[in-house]
Amino acid sequence: MKYFGTDGIRGKAEIFTSEFITKIVAGLVEYAGDNIKVLLGGDTRESTEWILTDFESALETFGIEFSNAGVLPTPAINYCFYNMGFDFAIDVTASHNPYMDNGIKIFERGDNSGKKLCEKGCEIIEAALDSEKTYALVSPTLREDLHEEALNLYKEHLATYLGEANLNGLRIALDCANGATSVIGDSIFKEFGAETELINADGNYGKKINANCGSTHLESLVSLVQTNQLDLGIAFDGDGDRCLLVDEKGEIVDGDEIIAILANSLNLDKIAVTVMANQGLLNWAKDNNIETEITAVGDSNVAAAMREKDIKLGGEQSGHIILPNEPTGDGILTSLMILKTISKSGKSLKELKSIIKKYPQVILNMEATPETKEALKTSEEAKKILLAYDKKLESVSGRLLVRPSGTENLIRITMWGNDEEEIATLANELKNELKRSLT
């Protein structure tokens, strides 16, 4: 698609002009009609505030009933719109991207929960965005602010899902990425008895979101855990739909390890992961007779496979974890489930993650225009280069994945193998060859 990537529409904030936003609403109306109710919300980046205001004007122009929940994590918006009786949610966020970017995620009602807008809906909105039609906007009337109601409803959901859990004695650090999870702060963790140290929790609209913090920059969290000798650290991304962990020794625990820990503790026999999954996770699943469904990158692809194959747990290495009976990733709920597992088992996070032996892995990003990304798919020379490196990786029992990013102007190169130095060398060689071939 031209505008929708693997996780909604995303780009530099300036693309979200009032005209662009109005056409998104026009497409939504064409898809669903005008007798709908929409819940708005978003993260903390400075552009989110004015984009939400423009959405209010556009919805008012089309006579759509709406309310604004303000800053909330993406999973909270998805949970609350469905349970508060709205038909759609529009979440203004660019997830882990820097503050200069923004985006939207649109959720619609599924059978039992909210789900990301279907392909047909996306196609209709894309057609509206390319339309030459213009609209005269009207100013929105004052609407009810549902922030506190939605936040409390989401907190109740977390407590209900977790059930009986005693986190007394656990000392944890939370890095909220100056993003949407800042509105939760550490309150839910403290309610279950954990002792918390909170960093990067500015919930105001601004420029701090994801800036050298959160799940994309774990250095400060690692330092805090080690310096204060905490049991673990939890890092969220800007919109809170994923998390990464740091164990008591300061070692990073990623989504593959989280999936293994939860699959083991919940005694599950099937998991869904993407092609980005570490070979160590795949080997562990095979050795333990756990059926593994491998999907394309993107939590929506994982969620679709889980629904189709009746799989209770799935996710991505990046920390998007979809838990049993949950429609999408939720960083806060995932981390609470890990804490519950630690408490019940009496084991440390380092002990729990040791059930899998990860293969060395190298990930390189190559800047790429949309034309370059397309050339990667069609170039015969690029195909020959990739085949050659597949062959080279046989000597280290390796595996290769090269793909255009669905959210950024990048081509991502990932290599796995049993010799870290060798795959690092091969990955850099491949990056240089692809640059020469495609640009």
Active site residues: 95
- The 3-state secondary structure of the chain reads CCCEEECEEEEEHHHCCHHHHHHHHHHHHHHHCCCCEEEEEECCEHHHHHHHHHHHHHHHHCCCEEEEEEECCHHHHHHHHHHCCCCEEEEECCCCCCCCEEEEEEEEECCCCEEECCHHHHHHHHHHHCCCCCCCCCCCCCCCECHHHHHHHHHHHHHHHHCCCCCCCCEEEEECCCCHHHHCCCHHHHHCCCEEEEECCCCCCECCCCCCCHHHCCHHHHHHHHHCCCCEEEEECCCCCCEEEECCCCCEECHHHHHHHHHHHCCCCEEEEECCCCHHHHHHHHHCCCEEEEECCCHHHHHHHHHHHCCCCEECCCCCEECCCCCCCCHHHHHHHHHHHHHHHCCCHHHHHCCCCCCCEEEEEEECCHHHHHHHHHCHHHHHHHHHHHHHHHHHCCEEEEEECCCCCEEEEEEECCCHHHHHHHHHHHHHHHHHHHC
Q: Are 297 and 406 in contact (CB under 8 A)?
A: yes
What is the C-alpha separation between 324 and 316, in angstroms, rounded? 15
**In whole angstroms, how far apart are CA 7 and each of 14, 140, 413, 439?**
19, 28, 20, 27
